[in-house]
């Protein structure tokens, strides 16, 4: 654990993020649990905990400064990415983590229990069947689907006038942007710099046209 912690400290030092001692402990604790459960549940193709720090933790928390609003949903969260790292970074915001697979939701519930994370609600459901009364400020997706599929399947989730979609992508997906439906437009594209991660990362912010 101490080795992971020192590596995390090194990675965070290469960003402008502010991360408390408790948050760092929780992030490392999450990686340790992911590593442990992965052996039995096959939650991620990334096997090495040190790789998880870069490819899962840093790749998720680098988006933290771009979350405007109070309520977020992570669709197709898998083992809780980017939802768990972002919830650790933003204890004042509320997150719903949605996935259709029971083993992933069971893992997330255990993470919340062991790491004492109190601002996450795990939900087992297909996204098109999930009909929340309260809509969201932001709909997050990472490695979930193409942006066209994302906005079509999740169109009922953001707040009508102010909600947005936040797609975490690698290279800028120009072809996906061109295929977006008429009602949806790109409002911002942010190039992300993830320490020690090979390849490009982008955050594409989309919203409903007025």
- Collect contacts of 42-51 with beta carbons under 8 A, ≥24 apart: 43/78, 43/79, 43/103, 43/104, 43/107, 44/78, 44/79, 44/81, 49/4, 50/4, 50/7
89: closest CA among 53, 71, 65?
65
Predicted local distance difference test score (pLDDT) of residue 136: 98
Please give the order of strands across the beta sheet that includes 71-75: 120-124, 94-99, 71-75, 138-142, 164-169, 201-208, 184-192
> For the chain, first and last CA: distance in Å?
49
**Which parts of the chain sit beneath pLDDT 50?**
none
Predicted local distance difference test score (pLDDT) of residue 7: 97
pLDDT in tens, 173-202: 899 999 999 999 999 999 999 999 999 999
Q: What is the pTM of this model?
A: 0.97
Predicted local distance difference test score (pLDDT) of residue 206: 97
Predicted local distance difference test score (pLDDT) of residue 144: 77
Residue located via tokens 């008429």: 182
């Amino acid at each position: 654990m101490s080795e992971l912690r020192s590596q995390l400290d090194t990675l965070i030092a290469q960003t402008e993020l502010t991360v408390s001692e408790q948050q760092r402990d929780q992030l490392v604790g999450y990686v340790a649990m992911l590593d442990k459960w992965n052996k039995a549940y096959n939650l991620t193709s990334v096997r090495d905990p040190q790789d998880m720090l870069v490819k899962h933790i840093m790749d998720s928390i680098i988006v933290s400064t771009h979350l405007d609003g109070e309520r977020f949903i992570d669709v197709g969260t898998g083992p809780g990415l980017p939802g768990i790292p972002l919830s650790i970074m933003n204890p004042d915001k509320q997150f719903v983590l949605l996935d259709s697979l029971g083993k992933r939701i069971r893992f997330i519930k255990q993470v919340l229990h062991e790491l004492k994370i109190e601002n996450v609600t795990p939900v087992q459901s297909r996204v098109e069947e999930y009909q929340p009364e309260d809509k969201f400020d932001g709909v997050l997706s990472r490695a979930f689907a193409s942006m066209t599929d994302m906005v079509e399947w999740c169109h009922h989730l953001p707040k009508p006038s102010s909600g947005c979609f936040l797609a975490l992508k690698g290279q800028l997906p120009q072809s996906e942007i061109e295929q977006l439906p008429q009602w949806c437009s790109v409002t911002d594209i942010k190039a992300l710099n993830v320490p020690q991660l090979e390849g490009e990362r982008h955050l594409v912010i989309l919203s409903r046209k007025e």
